Chain A
Amino acid sequence: MKVIWQMFLQSAHIAKKRAFLTIAAIAWGTVAILLLLSFGEGLKIQLNKNRRAMGERLAVMWPGETTKPWKGLPAGRPIRPTIDDIEYLSARMPELEAVIGEIYSWRTALGYGAKVVNGRVVGTNAVYGEARKHYPVAGGRFFSDVDVSERRRVVFLGDEIAADIFGKGDPVGKTLLLSNSPFTVIGVMQKKTQMGMYGGPDSKHVVIPVSTFKALFGRERLNVLVLQVKKDDDMKMALRRVNELLGAKYGYDPNDDRVLQTWDTVKSGKITANITIGIQLFLGIIGALTLLIGGVGVANIMYAVVKERTREIGVKMALGARSAWITGPFVLEGLLYTVLGGVAGLSIAMVIIAGLGLIPADGNKVMEFLGKPTLSWQIGVATSGILGLIGLAAGYFPARRAALIDPAQTLRYE
């Protein structure tokens, strides 16, 4: 090892420009792989955040028709749970975090002063606010169980529809004419970038107590039933239990999974996670290829150096240099270029990523979905690993050629 180091130092002070170009190629590859992976990471974080904006561990169920005969009853019967089933299920399934029932009124006139907007009205129960992440802007609130039980005329607004109706002013405390009935605005939802949705984006609907909805519109059959479990693993069990309970109550086969068509965010979350892993992998491979091109550049230069120093290598062999003392300096040189290029690339990538981080994300639709490029330690480890492998290979193969030089061939003639 000592000999390798001495040989390396003796040959190191050559070809500075060539070394610089090689290092630049590696640096460029490193920047490429880091940026790609950081964008992938940012996208993953943003996707997760956006996906969770609707709420977590939810199962959204749309009541439909039976597809199997059951106890003498034919297939094709519509099954429509009602407002009462919210309480019915809550009482029998204490293991759930929340049971939500929703009734919709589409394109309902919402008026304030001279301004009238058509929007979707959702009647639901109080746990909806927490489970579906309808967090109020400071100064407002979501409605409570008391609002529901006393059938109060209170309304919670999505942020975009609030702006449509009330403009820039604070709507809380003002009176909204909902289908010509006066409602008091009690809160406006905090802005969120929502990826998953059913019926429409949360920002564009208004929410009122389900009891008030029934009194106003005279309907009590649910459009949607939503369950929230306490942890991901509970989901399967909860879905089966709901079908057993409602199947017994309404008379359908609990194994008939078309009665309540279900969107389970736990399951779709796993799919999303797999997709993001796929994207990361794809970006990583592109980055690694870019880096590989840099590595080929290093190897190329090292090959040229080996060829140039053929006679020198032959002389050293004649003087008694072992193979490792010939190859070692080349491997070191390849590694050195790679490490220097890697460090340079990392610095540049960090500056670029920090620069991109300064761009404000608010109001930037692209950024809301792509997220900000983020460096993580996993990216660092992966990049270092790839760099190290490429560096070793870029030095090793030319070095092996050097070791195979036949001194007898190189020494005799000019």
Chain B
Amino acid sequence: MATRHEEIRADRPIIEMVDIRKVYDTGKVKVEALKGIDLSVAKGEFIAIVGPSGSGKSTLMNLIGCLDTATGGEFRIGGELVKGLSRDQLADVRNRRIGFVFQAFNLLPQISAAENVAMPMIFGGVPAKARKERVAELMEKVGLGDRMEHKPTELSGGQMQRVAIARALAMNPDIVLADEPTGNLDTSSGGDIMGVFLDLWKQGRTLVVITHDMALARRAGRIVEIRDGRIVRDAAVGPEEGAASVSAAAGAHVQGLASTAEQAA
């Protein structure tokens, strides 16, 4: 298997989806969750995928996250065609290319924050010493350098999500894929986490956030709206829209952003 850096040409999108279809066949009924999605995400983009529940955005997220495979169309991630891969090959693709951030954080409760962050690197075969250094660097980056040995249950929601973000970055993936990352957080922590994402965007990361929170979506660079298995809108967020969201958000939002920027710096 070629490494991703060899494969990606500078102009090649990170995500390329051509006429992607997904049919769930339960035997009796066939449900067409995605009816031909064309989507291209360039390196360094921050897109928000929005839509009501049942629109197919979860299905789309599973496909982008290589947790599931399409029943039709062509999907490349980082130039690599995701088709006919075994479970283990898919696992490898996820490990190298995708950093997940979930609504429910999904940290493993019985091991420390640092061990959680190290997990993808164990799967990725990173040697113990390099792993340790990278964990310290990432925990520092998300502002939790002093919480390394804490168990997830000893952390607040916002802190858990920061640990999850550090874990998502561990293997230096092609994209960070976040599913309702602020859904379980209060407004202040949510704004905090949004700030971390904006920071990552500034540093050149490619981010895909699935959400139904329009306020959050407007902070991204581009909004893709899905309805009934189809993309109904795909547009860059105008400066006035971004400004509107800032004014709509609470003051704590901005403060949280500022503090995150400080810590990251």
Sample of 19 further A-B pairs with CB below 8 A, known A14-B110, A412-B103 = A3-B123, A7-B122, A10-B111, A10-B115, A11-B110, A13-B110, A316-B108, A317-B94, A318-B65, A318-B106, A319-B95, A320-B94, A320-B96, A320-B124, A323-B87, A323-B88, A324-B88, A403-B87, A412-B104
Residue B75, interface by CB 8 Å: no
B100 within 8 A of A: yes
| CB-based contact B67/A320 at 8 Å | no
Residues of A within 8 A of B119 (CB): 316, 319
Report chain B residues within 8 Å CB of A10.
108, 110-111, 115
Q: Which of A13, A314, A316, A414 has the most CB of B within 10 A?
A: A316
With most chain A CB atoms within 10 A of its CB, the pick from B103, B106, B108, B119 is B106
A407 CB contacts on chain B under 8 angstroms: 67
When each residue 375-414 of chain A gets 1 if its CB lies under 8 Å from chain B and 0 otherwise, what string results? 0000000000000000000000000000100111001111
B104 & A320 in contact (Cβ 8 Å cutoff): no
Within 8 A of A (CB), among B78-102: 87-88, 91-92, 94-96, 100, 102
A408 contacts B62, C-beta separation under 8 Å: yes
Interface size class of chain A, counting residues whose CB lies under 8 Å from the partner chain = 20 to 34
Q: Whose C-beta in chain B lies nearest to the C-beta of A321?
A: B123
> Does A325 make an interface contact (CB < 8 A)?
yes
In Å, the complex CA distance between A325 and B124 comes to 12
Q: With A10-B110, A414-B104 as given contacts, are A3 and B68 in contact (CB-CB < 8 Å)?
A: no
Nearest-Cβ distance from residue B131 to partner chain A, whole angstroms: 11
Are B123 and A318 touching (Cβ within 8 A)?
Answer: no
Determine the chain A residues whose CB is within 8 A of the CB of B95 once the complex forms.
Answer: 319-320
Query: Any chain B CB within 8 A of the CB of A312?
Result: yes
Binding site for A on B (CB under 8 A): 58, 62, 65, 67-68, 87-88, 91-92, 94-96, 100, 102-104, 106-108, 110-111, 115, 119-120, 122-125, 167, 171, 179, 184
Q: Report the minimum CB–CB distance from A84 to chain B (whole Å).
A: 89
C-alpha spacing A62/B170, complex, angstroms: 92
Give the most central of B62, B103, B115, B123: most A CB within 10 Å. Answer: B123
Tell me, yes or no, whether A96 is within 8 Å of chain B by CB.
Answer: no
Any chain B CB within 8 A of the CB of A107? no
Interface pair A319/B167, CB less than 8 Å apart: yes
Least CB distance, A115 to chain B, in whole angstroms: 85
Please tell me if the beta carbons of B91 and A321 are within 8 angstroms of each other in the complex. yes
27 A–B contacts from the bound complex (CB under 8 Å): A3-B122, A3-B123, A10-B108, A10-B110, A10-B111, A10-B115, A13-B110, A14-B110, A318-B94, A319-B119, A319-B167, A320-B95, A320-B96, A320-B120, A320-B124, A320-B171, A323-B87, A323-B88, A324-B88, A325-B123, A403-B87, A406-B68, A408-B65, A411-B104, A412-B58, A413-B104, A414-B184
The reply to whether A319 and B100 contact each other, CB–CB distance below 8 Å, is yes
- By a beta-carbon cutoff of 8 Å, the part of chain A in contact with chain B is 3, 6-7, 10-11, 13-14, 311-312, 314-325, 403, 406-408, 411-414
Listed from nearest, the 9 A-B pairs whose CB atoms lie closest are A320-B95, A408-B67, A320-B123, A408-B62, A322-B88, A319-B120, A315-B106, A320-B94, A322-B91
User: How many cross-chain pairs have Cβ atoms below 8 Å apart between A and B?
Assistant: 79
Give the most central of B67, B107, B111, B184: most A CB within 10 Å. B67
Q: Which residues of B contact A317 (CB under 8 A)?
A: 67, 91, 94
Instruction: Decide: A318 and B67 in contact? CB cutoff 8 A.
Output: yes
Do B111 and A318 touch (CB < 8 A)?
Answer: no
Least CB distance, B115 to chain A, in whole angstroms: 7
What CA separation (Å) do A316 and B124 show in the bound complex? 12
Residue B92 contacts which of A13, A322, A324 (CB distance < 8 angstroms)? A322
**Given known contacts A6-B122, A10-B110, A325-B123, A412 and B179 CB-to-CB distance under 8 angstroms:** yes
CA distance A311 to B109 in the complex (A): 11
Residue of B nearest to A326 (CB): B91
A31–B94 alpha-carbon span in the complex (Å): 47
Q: How far is the CA of A323 from the CA of B65 in the complex (A)?
A: 17
- Chain A CB within 10 Å, residue with most, of B88, B92, B115, B122: B122
Q: In the complex, which residues of chain A have a beta carbon less than 8 angstroms from the beta carbon of B58?
A: 412
Q: Which residues of B contact A319 (CB under 8 A)?
A: 94-95, 100, 119-120, 123, 167
Q: How far is the CB of A64 from chain B (nearest CB, A)?
A: 79
Complex: A406 Cα to B87 Cα, angstroms = 10
Task: Among B94, B102, B115, point to the contact of A412 (Cβ < 8 A).
Answer: B102
Q: Complex: how many Å from CA A7 to CA B108?
A: 12
A94-B119 Cα distance, complex, nearest whole Å: 84
Which residues of chain A have C-beta atoms less than 8 A from B125's C-beta?
3
A166 to B57 Cα, complex, angstroms:
105
CA distance A76 to B152 in the complex (A): 100
Q: Give chain B residues whose Cβ lies under 8 Å from the Cβ of A3.
A: 122-123, 125
Question: Which residues of A are found within 8 Å of B171, using beta-carbon distances?
Answer: 320
Q: With a CB–CB cut-off of 8 A, which chain A residues contact B62? A: 408
Enumerate chain B residues within 8 angstroms of A316, measured Cβ to Cβ.
Answer: 108, 119, 123
Check B106–A311 contact: CB distance below 8 A. Answer: yes
User: Which B residue sits closest to A315, measured CB to CB?
Assistant: B106
- A320/B68 contact (C-beta < 8 A), A315-B106, A412-B58 known: no
Closest chain A residue, CB of each to CB of B92: A320
User: Which of A6, A324, A403, A406 has the most CB atoms of chain B within a 10 A radius of its CB?
Assistant: A6
List the B residue with the shortest CB-CB distance to A319: B120
User: Chain B residues with Cβ under 8 A from A321's Cβ?
Assistant: 91, 123
B257 to chain A, nearest CB (A): 27
Q: Contact: B88 with A315, CB < 8 Å?
A: no
> Which residue of A has the minimal Cβ distance to B119?
A319
